[in-house]
Amino acid sequence: MAELSVAELSKDLRAAITRLEHTEGLESVGVVTRVGDGVAWIHGLRDAGYSEVLQIEAPSGIVEAFALNLMEDEIGAVLLGTDAEVSAGNTVRLKGTALVVPVGPELLGRVVDPLGRPLDGAGPIKTKAVGLVEREAIGVMGRKSVHEPLMTGIMAIDAMFPIGRGQRELIIGDRQTGKTALAIDTMINQAKQKTGVVNVYVAIGQKLSKVARLVDRLKAEGVMDQTIIVATSPADPASLLYLAPYAGTAMGEYFRDNKQHALMIYDDLTKHAVAYRQMSLLLRRPPGREAYPGDVFYLHSRLLERSAKLSDALGAGSLTALPIIETQAGDISAYIPTNVISITDGQIFLETDLFYQGIRPAISAGLSVSRVGGAAQTKAVKSVSGNLKLGLSQFRELASFAQFGSDLDESTKSQIERGQRLTELLKQPQYRPASIWEQVASMYAVTNGLFDRVNPSHIKDAQAALLARLSADHTDVVKALETGDKPTDAVLKTIGTAATHVAKGFEGK
Amino acid sequence: MSNLLTQFAAANAPPVGPGIFEALGINWQMLILQIVAFIILVWLLGKFVYPWLMKSVDERKDTIEAANKAAHEAQDAAANAEARIEKLLKKARDDASEIVATAKLESAAQLSASEDKAKKRAEQIVTTAQSEIDKQILAAKAALHNETLELVALATEKVVGKVVTARIDDSLIANSLKAVE
Amino acid sequence: MAVKLSRRRITHYVADNLATGTDVHNTLMQLAGYLVDTRRTKELDVIVRDIEYALAERGLVSARVVTAFKLSYVTRQAIEDVINSRKKSHDIQLQHVVDPAVLGGLRLDIPGFRLDTTLAHTLSTLRTNYKK
C-alpha cells in the first residue's frame, strides 16, 4: 500500500533542485512563429532531424512536439500536447533524441498514453529500457515462417481460419459487429490457457468509457496482469492518435526481442488513418484519394511489418498483430480496407446480417481467410476441422434450398441439417473462449453425426452436457486432448460414446 | 343287412345233412357270404369311409399340431418380448440415471462456478478499493510535491530579489560564462 | 504589380547589402516598401530573424543580453568572447537590456542560439518542469 512519506518527498525535491544546477550552455533554439490545430510552425533549429523531438517552453511547462515537415524556411512540428499552452514567440529546443517510449515488463497491467505516461493513476512507471516509436522492421533473414498456433478460443476461427504466432490477421466489419469482442476473447484466452503471450491493446480514438469497461472486464477475467493498454480518446490531439499504434508496437517488440510472445491489437486503424489525414492536411501536404496523403499505405505497412516471427538465432520470439478496420455498409473494397487487406496475412470478415440473425461471432466463412492456414493449427483441431469447413461450405451452397424442406432428396436434406447443426455449434457467447479439448470434442461430435438426432436449437445444450460429462468422467481424455496432439482412436471412441449417450437425452425434444 | 344276407343264405341254401358245422351250428355258406359281405363292407369302408375319416383325423391332428405350434411360438414370442421390454426398460433406466447424473454434475459445476465467481468478485472489490486508496495517496503526494515546488520558488524569488547585488550578479554571470567555455 | 519573392531571396539580398555596407538606408526602405506593397508585413519578424541568421553567417552577429543589473566592461568582453567561440565574427553588435525581473544571471540570444542562466528562468524551470 502506498504511503505518504516526507523523506521521499524531500528526496524528490532535492533531486529536482540538484538537476537545476546543471547549465546546458549555448543551446540551439528556434521560435514558434505560429500555432494552431495541433501544429506549431517553428523558425530556426536548422539542425533538426525528421521526426526529432522538440521541446517548446510554454508558460505552463515544456510541451513536446516532433518535427514532421522540414521545409526551407521553417519546421512544421506536430504537438504532443494541447496547443492551448503554446503561443507564438515561445522558445523551442531540440531534445536530441527521436521519439522513445518506456518499454518493459513494468508496463504490464498498466494503462498508458502513447508517450508512456500512466493514465490509470497508479503511480509513475519506471522502466529500465526505452524503445523507439519509429523503428525499422526485421529483415528477411531474421524471420522464421509462422508455425506455432495462437489459439483465440473462438471455435470458428481456430477451426477454419487458424492464426499463428507472428501472423497479421485483419478483423474487418461494420460498426457493432463484434470486432473488439473477438479481440478481447483472444486476450482472455491467452490468460485462461496460460500461454504466456503478452497482450498489448492499442485503443486509437476509442471512447474512454469503452476503455474503462475493457479494463474492468480484463481485471475480472484475470487478464490485466499480462496486458498493456495504450489508450487515446477522440479528445486527444491527432498526433497522439497517430503515434499510438507505433508506441504500442515498440512495447510489444520488447517482449518479441526478449524471446517472448506478444499479441498486438490495433483498435482501430480506420481512426488511425483519419488522424493521419488530419495531420497531413494541417501540415499542408498534398491530398490524394479520399483526401488521404499519398503515403497512407506506408503508414500501415511499416507498422504491420514489425509483427513477425523471429528466427531461432534471434530468440524465436514473436509479435502477432490483430488490426481492426471498420467498414461502411460492408464495403471492403474501400481505400483503407483494401490497403490493409493487401498488407495482412488474412482477414476475418464480420457481417451485420449474420450478427442480427443471432450468429455470433458473425464470421463470414466465405469471405474470411487465413493465409497461413494449417501450418499454424493445432494438430488436434486440424484432425476434426476438415469436415467442419466442408460441411459449412456445402450448407452455404444449399442454404437457399432450406425453405423447400419437404421437396428435397435425402442427401440434400441431410447436408442442410448438418450445416444447421454446425452453424449452431459455432455460436459462442462473449468472454467464454473454448479450450483445445472443448473444441475438439464438440467438433468431433457434430461432424461425425453423433448429434444428428439433436434438434439444432438444442445443440449448444448438448455440447455443454457432453463437455460436462467428459470433464467429470474422462479426465484422461481431456488431458490427452489438451496436449494438442492428434487424438488417438481410443480417445475418439470415448468421445463418441459419451456423445451418443448425451444425444439420447435430447432425442425427440 | 345281415338279415338280408341270412335271408339270401336261408333262401338259397340247399338242405344239408348234419355235419361238424351243423353240429356246431355254423352255416358255412352263410359264413362265406358273411365273409364276402364283410370284405365288401371293409372294402367300401376302406374306399369311402376310412379315407374321409383319416382325412378328418389328419386334418384335426394338423390343426391341433398347428395350434400347439402356434401356442409354443406365441409363448416364445411373449417370452422374447418380455425380455426385450425388460432390456429396454433397463436401458431407459440407465439412460435416465445418466441424464440425471449429468444434470446433477452440470448443476454442481454451475453452483461451484457461481461460488467461485462470487468469491472472485468479493476479492476484486477489496483489491479495487485498495488500489483506489493507493491512487488517492499518490495523487496527494503529487499535489504536495507540486505545492512545495511552488512555495520554494516563491520564497526564493522573494529572498533573491533582496539579496542579489550588482557585484553578486557579476560573479554569477562570470561563473556561468566560464561553465559554457 | 510586385513579383512575390521567397523569404530566402529577400534575406540574402538585404544581408548582402548590410554586410557590405552598400546603400543600407535604401535597402531597408526597399524592404519596407516591398512588404507593404505585397501585404507581407506579418512576415517582418521572421524576415528580420532570417536576416540576422544570414548576417551571422557573414560574420556580423547581432546579440541581445538581458541582465538584472548594468554590465561591467569585463563582463561584456567575456560575453563577446563566448559569442566568438560559437560564431566566428568580426563585428558583434551587443544590445543590452536591464530587466530586474530576471533577478540575476544573464540571458544571451544570438541567431539560432540562446544561453539562459537567469535566476528567473531557473525558478520557472523548477516550477514547471519538475511538476508531477
What are B14-71's pLDDT values in tens digits?
555 556 767 777 788 889 999 999 999 999 988 888 888 888 888 899 999 999 998 9
Nearest to A4 among B130, B135, B140 (CB): B140
- pLDDT averaged over every residue in chain C: 89
* Cis before A361 (ω within 30): yes
Please tell me which residue of chain B has the smallest CA distance to C116. B176
Please tell me which residue of chain C has the smallest CA distance to B160. C103
ipTM: 0.87
Packing angle of the helix pair C24-37, C7-20 (nearest 10 deg): 160
- Shortest distance, CA B107 to any CA of chain C (angstroms): 53
- Cα three-residue angle B108-B110-B113, rounded to 5 degrees: 110
- Shortest distance, CA A462 to any CA of chain B (angstroms): 11
Among A59-68, A84-93, B23-32, B39-48, where is mean pLDDT lowest?
B23-32
CA distance A272 to A300: 9
Chain C residues touching residue A43 (CB < 8 angstroms): 46, 49-50
CA distance A425 to A432: 14
Distance of CA C83 to the CA centre of its chain: 12
Q: Which residue has the higher pLDDT, A6 or A467?
A: A467
Neighbouring C-alpha atoms within 13 Å toward the C-beta of B157: 17
Is residue A505 less than 8 Å (CB to CB) from chain B?
A: yes
Cβ of A465 within 8 Å of Cβ of B102? The answer is yes
Nearest to A43 among C46, C113, C131 (CB): C46
CA distance A174 to A279: 25
Distance of CA A478 to the CA centre of its chain: 30
Q: Could you tell me the three cell numbers for B119? A: 468469491
- Phi/psi region, residue A134 (left: phi>0; alpha: psi -120 to 50; beta: rest), is beta
What are B124-152's pLDDT values in tens digits?
889 889 888 988 888 888 888 888 888 88
Is the pLDDT assigned to residue B8 strictly greater than 60? no
Is residue B140 less than 8 Å (CB to CB) from chain C?
A: no
Check: pTM over 0.80? Answer yes or no. yes
Please tell me which residue of chain B has the smallest CA distance to C72. B170
Long-range contacts of A114-118 (CB under 8 A, 24+ apart): A114/A230, A114/A232, A114/A240, A114/A243, A114/A244, A114/A246, A114/A247, A114/A248, A115/A64, A115/A80, A115/A240, A115/A243, A115/A247, A116/A247
Distances in Å between the alpha carbon of C49 and those of C17, C44, C53, C80?
16, 9, 6, 20
Nearest to C115 among A16, A25, A31 (CB): A25
Chain B residues touching residue A220 (CB < 8 angstroms): 120-121, 124
> How does residue B107 score in pLDDT terms, banded at 50, 70 and 90?
confident
Q: Which residue has the higher pLDDT, B51 or B2?
A: B51
Mutate to test the interface with C, among B173, B176, B181 (most CBs of C within 10 A): B173
For CA atoms A21, A26, A27, A30, give the dihedral sign: positive
What is the residue extent of each domain of chain C?
7-56, 60-131
CA distance A240 to A20: 30
Among A258-262, A399-403, B32-36, B78-82, where is mean pLDDT lowest?
A399-403
Chain A residues touching residue B144 (CB < 8 angstroms): 4, 9
Given this model, what pLDDT does residue B7 score?
52
- Tell me the backbone φ, ψ of residue A171, rounded to 5 degrees: -110, 115
Cβ of A465 within 8 Å of Cβ of B106? The answer is yes
Chain B residues touching residue C68 (CB < 8 angstroms): 164, 169
List the catalytic residues of A: 371
Please tell me which residue of chain A has the smallest CA distance to B108. A468
Is the pLDDT assigned to residue A105 strictly greater than 50? yes
> How does residue B110 score in pLDDT terms, banded at 50, 70 and 90?
confident
CA distance A382 to A388: 10
Given this model, what pLDDT does residue A460 score?
94
Is the pLDDT assigned to residue A384 strictly greater than 80? yes
Neighbouring C-alpha atoms within 13 Å toward the C-beta of C128: 16
Nearest to C46 among A27, A29, A33 (CB): A33
- Shortest distance, CA B169 to any CA of chain C (angstroms): 5
Cβ of C114 within 8 Å of Cβ of A26? The answer is yes
| Across A359-377, average pLDDT | 91
Please tell me which residue of chain B has the smallest CA distance to A504. B95
Is residue C78 less than 8 Å (CB to CB) from chain B?
A: yes
Residues of B engaging A, defined by a Cβ cutoff of 8 Å: 95, 98-99, 102, 105-106, 109, 120-121, 124, 128, 130-131, 133-135, 137-141, 144-145, 148-149, 152, 176, 179-180
DSSP-derived secondary structure for C45-90: HHHHHHHHHHHHHTTEEEEEEEESSPPPHHHHHHHHHHHHHHS--S
In which element (H, E) is residue A116 found? none
What are A119-169's pLDDT values in tens digits?
998 888 999 999 999 999 999 999 999 999 999 999 999 999 999 999 999
- Residues 6 or more apart in contact with residue A446 via CB below 8 angstroms: A388, A418, A421, A422, A425, A459
Nearest to A25 among B128, B130, B180 (CB): B180
- Shortest distance, CA B180 to any CA of chain A (angstroms): 5
Given this model, what pLDDT does residue A276 score?
97
Is the pLDDT assigned to residue B173 strictly greater than 50? yes
Nearest to A29 among C6, C53, C114 (CB): C114
Cβ of B176 within 8 Å of Cβ of C69? The answer is no
Is the pLDDT assigned to residue C115 strictly greater than 80? yes
Q: Could you tell me the three cell numbers for A420? A: 444447421
Is residue C68 less than 8 Å (CB to CB) from chain B?
A: yes
Given this model, what pLDDT does residue B2 score?
47
What are A185-220's pLDDT values in tens digits?
999 999 999 999 999 999 999 999 999 999 999 999
What are A148-162's pLDDT values in tens digits?
999 999 999 999 999
